Amino acid sequence: MDRGKLFERIWIDPTRCGGKPCIRGHRIWVSLIVDLIAEGHSEPEILEAYPGIEIDDIRACLAFASEMTRERFVPVRLENAAV
């Protein structure tokens, strides 16, 4: 899946989770998923712990974090914004 499609899986809602980037449709922070990976949790473990997310959601979190380390702007839609 290309990065553009992955980034569609990340949403920001200023009224939820303090406006932190989350997996679309969930209150699961991108930073939480990245922290879990950094702590050594496997993708299957994360998927089991957080039912409803998919492998591409984990990949989207990593791609988003990667872009942030480059100090680039990543356009992310507001969750309730029209497509």
Residue-wise pLDDT for 29-82, tens only, equals: 999 999 999 999 999 999 999 999 999 999 999 999 998 888 767 777 777 765
At residue 79, the pLDDT reads: 73
How many separate domains does the chain show? 1
Cβ neighbour number for residue 38 with a 10 Å cutoff: 9
At residue 18, the pLDDT reads: 92
Beta carbons within 8 Å of 71's beta carbon, 6+ residues apart = none
Amino acid making up residue 22: C
The answer to whether the pTM exceeds 0.75 is yes
In whole angstroms, give the CA distance from residue 23 to residue 11.
6
Q: pLDDT tens across 4-28, in order?
A: 899 999 999 899 899 999 999 999 9
82 domain residue, yes or no: no
Instruction: Say yes or no to pLDDT of 83 above 60.
Output: no
80 domain residue, yes or no: no
62 domain residue, yes or no: yes
How many residues does the structure list for the chain?
83
Shortest CA distance to 28 belongs to which of 40, 44, 15, 10?
A: 10
74 domain residue, yes or no: no
Domain that holds residue 14: 3-69
